[in-house]
Amino acid sequence: MPANILGLSCHYHDSAACLMREGRLAAAAQEERFDRRKNSADFPRQALNYCLQAAGLAVFDLDAVVFYEKPYLAFARVLISHLRAFPRSYGSFRRTMPLWLADRLALPVVLQRETGFSGKTLFIKHHLAHAASAFLLSPFEEAAILTADAVGEWATMTRGNGHGSAVRVTHEIRFPDSLGLLYTAVTTFLGFEAHEGEGKVMGLAGLGRPVFLDKIKSIVALRPDGSFSMDQSYFDFYREDRMYSRRFVEAFGKPRQPGAELEERHCDLAASLQAFVEEAVICAARDLQAQTKTPNLCLAGGLFLNCVMNQKILEATDFKNLFVQPAAGDAGGALGACAFVSHSLLGQPRDGRMDPYLGPEYPASRSRRALTNAGLAFRELSDEELYRAVAQKVAAGQVVGWCQGRMELGPRALGNRSILGDPRNPAMKEIINEKVKQREPFRPYAPAVLEENASEYFHLTQSSPFMLLAPRVREEKKAAIPAVTHVDGTARVQTVSRSLTPRFWSLIHAFADLTGLPMVINTSMNLRGEPIVCSPEDAVSTFQRSRMDALVLGNLVVERGAS
Amino acid sequence: MAWFENLRRLNRALAAAVRRVLLPAFLFAAYFIGLGLTWLAGRIFRPSLFESPDLRARSFWRDAEGYEPDWEDCLRQS
């Protein structure tokens, strides 16, 4: 029985590789962390090599490689869509066809060329990969499953259920009706980059009022079961530079140019979009709950990286338990593809434990070398000294880079490739923005809170280890943590457990001993436009190109100004 | 072996030039002739391909197909 299964996702955005041995996740990483190009779509050769290396395998030891899509079906959709939009789809045709002809339709050939692998290559549908990643990696024995993203082969949203090791997808919504594409179209209308600015629109939504909700509903017909159909005359998914039509501009006014000042109507449009998508997904979830009668819901697909929406689903439906794996977007497709083959096809048992720390880990000798090569003086501390020293720095208002152990999978830093700050300081957001992140001022920073104290500060009914829920901050605590409370009174919480993240937990515990507050600000360690750091060299480079006050690599501490 | 390197360089430049000319020409023909004729045939013989969905429908969910593959199904790219 095959035991070493490699999953791959690539060609659109967020390329990734994942390796499962005997049904257990051994390693997974996104290509962007290695090639240093954000949302890299390239064949994940470095991520793949890392996975093999981490598991101590050669490519010949793999029993199967599984891809997160059926390329011929996706190609058929692309051709038919271009046919329907003839002749205005020529630009898109000219741009995309070379990509299909070069690599996308010849994955086994590419795989052999890149790695020498000549064994079995498997293909599963895109949304089945999402559904499998959502359910098979969850702790649930049975659950309802909802997936949504821009588009897979044809499907843009699916619903179904999981039981044991079986995943069933029962219904789908098809392209061009897509909540993911709707969100991206409005993202580009608001002057943000597609596949990158959606999170910014989610943050912007908190500043506006949903005054355009009725207008959006007149464009997108929504049914009580959460299904929907979009009036395509408002959209243009074949344009290179934008995804909305002239009619959309007539309805919502002039689009915002990138970098232009944000007006009230931009915030209102973001709020209206967010409200509409929440309503659609809540309707779909309620209908699914009525059918499946289970208290458990698993979500996957890029749309469910929207933590505000995930929280609303939990609050507005009868589902009691929600699971969203940390790489809910396309990178997670590699996990789902792997998990489907391992558990559903080969019957290997699930372990029900999702550990997001699946990336590379570097020895202290490598960190020492990186620091020495950069001419940076450092101190080596014991664990206890380290937690105390870093807690003191954070409490003193410093911005500290914190790199420990294995890198996280997914778009959020979860305490192993993080930048830390003090949530009590109302100016901390501006300080982190100025020293490192250069983010838009309306975007909030997230708190990482000890799991056992989370409900004291937030209206949280379950843990949120992957930072994919945004509960309301308790009224009486808002003043205590101004730096992580968004204008709408919510916070994108990470609950930190001792069992999953012992070093990060110990650090926050030390901060609590010092200040009485069991949480720190946790944001990803990267500069604007760059992927999260991976190696000690990446971290050192980020430290040198920013004004971060200190950098911690394992037990090594570097302070700015010391050389 | 400098002459061999020069030959290789020339060969690469020629290949790139051919690609620059031939690929766009091929894509232009494939789109406006291949897809264009198909579009015309579709309009005449299968107009349903171009119709918008019925917005009066009570639900837009469709039955999902092809989501319960076995090992053999997974070997296929379609």
- Locus of tokens 């559904």: A131
Query: Residues A453, A454, A460, A461: is their CA dihedral positive or negative?
Result: negative
CA distance B14 to chain A (A): 19
Q: Where are the domains of chain A?
A: 4-68+70-123+330-345, 174-318, 364-559
CB distance B74–A73 less than 8 Å? no
3-state secondary structure A411-428: CCCCCCEEEEECCCCCCH
**B49 vs B57: CA distance, rounded Å:** 18
- In a mutagenesis test of the B interface, which of A83, A96, A286, A343 is the best target, namely the one with the most B β-carbons within 10 Å? A83
CB distance A83–B38 less than 8 Å? yes
Query: Residues A228, A77, A152, A338: is their CA dihedral positive or negative?
Result: positive
Q: How many CB atoms lie within 10 A of CB A87?
A: 12
Which of the listed CATH numbers 3.90.180.10, 3.90.870.20, 3.60.20.10, 3.30.830.10 matches domain A364-559?
A: 3.90.870.20
Chain B residue whose CA is closest to A94: B27
Of the candidates A111, A3, A112, A123, which has an alpha carbon nearest to the alpha carbon of residue A63?
Answer: A3
CB distance B31–A94 less than 8 Å? yes
Give burial (CB, 10 Å; 0-12/13-18/19+) of A531.
Answer: buried
Give B3-23 pLDDT, tens digit per residue. 888 888 888 888 888 778 888
B/e letters for A214-251, b = 16+ CB within 10 Å, e = fewer, are eebbebbbbbebbbbbbebebbbbbeeebbbbeebeee
CA distance B6 to chain A (A): 27
Task: Quote the pLDDT of residue A2.
Answer: 59
Q: Which residues from chain B sit within 8 angstroms of residue A94, using beta carbons?
A: 24, 27-28, 31
Give A244-283 pLDDT, tens digit per residue. 999 999 999 999 999 899 999 999 999 999 999 999 999 9
3-state SS of chain B: helix, strand, coil percent to 5? 70, 5, 30
Task: Quote the pLDDT of residue A238.
Answer: 77
Q: Which residues from chain A sit within 8 angstroms of residue B32, using beta carbons?
A: 87, 90
Contact at 8 Å (CB) between A240 and A344?
no
Contact at 8 Å (CB) between A563 and A378?
no
Task: Quote the pLDDT of residue A241.
Answer: 67
Q: Which residues from chain B sit within 8 angstroms of residue A79, using beta carbons?
A: 35
**A174 vs A189: CA distance, rounded Å:** 23
Give burial (CB, 10 Å; 0-12/13-18/19+) of A443.
Answer: middle
CA distance A255 to chain B (A): 27
DSSP state of A330: T
Contact at 8 Å (CB) between A456 and A531?
no
Q: Does domain A4-68+70-123+330-345 have CATH number 3.30.230.10?
A: no
Nearest Cβ partner for A170 among B24, B64, B66: B64
Give A486-506 pLDDT, tens digit per residue. 999 999 999 999 999 999 999
Give A130-160 pLDDT, tens digit per residue. 999 999 999 999 999 999 999 999 999 999 9
Nearest Cβ partner for A169 among B64, B71, B78: B64
Residue A519 has pLDDT above 90, yes or no: yes
Q: Do domains A174-318 and A364-559 have the same CATH topology?
A: no
Which amino acid would we find at residue A301?
G
- How large is the C-alpha radius of gyration of chain B? 24
- Residues in B whose CB is inside 8 Å of some CB of A read 23-24, 27-28, 30-32, 35-36, 38-39, 42, 49-50, 52-53, 55, 57-64, 66-71, 74-78
Grouping H, G, I as helix, E, B as strand and the rest as coil, residue A161 is strand
Q: Which residues from chain A sit within 8 angstroms of residue B68, using beta carbons?
A: 168
- Locus of tokens 């999260």: A532
Task: Give the catalytic positions of A in this structure.
Answer: 13
CA distance A34 to chain B (A): 28
Q: What is the ipTM of this complex?
A: 0.90
* Mean pLDDT across chain A: 95
Residue A58 has pLDDT above 70, yes or no: yes
The answer for residues whose C-beta is within 8 angstroms of residue A173's C-beta and 6 or more apart is: A155, A156, A157, A158, A227, A228, B60, B61, B62
Q: How many CB pairs lie under 8 A apart between chains A and B?
A: 108
3-state secondary structure B24-54: HHHHHHHHHHHHHHHHHHHHHHCHHHHCCCC
Contact at 8 Å (CB) between B49 and A84?
yes
% residues pLDDT > 90 (chain A): 89
Of the candidates A58, A65, A53, A70, which has an alpha carbon nearest to the alpha carbon of residue A7?
Answer: A65
Task: Quote the pLDDT of residue A80.
Answer: 92
- What are φ and ψ of residue A474, in 5° steps? -60, 135
pTM: 0.94
Which of the listed CATH numbers 3.30.470.10, 1.20.140.10, 3.30.420.40, 1.10.3210.10 matches domain A174-318?
A: 3.30.420.40
Contact at 8 Å (CB) between A288 and A135?
no
**A303 vs A82: CA distance, rounded Å:** 25
* Full DSSP string of A382-445: -HHHHHHHHHHHHHTT--EEEE-SSPBSSSS--SSEEEEE-TT-TTHHHHHIIIII---TTPPP
Of A51-55, A136-140, A350-354, the one with minimum mean pLDDT is: A350-354
CB distance B60–A170 less than 8 Å? no
Give A197-216 pLDDT, tens digit per residue. 999 999 999 999 999 999 99
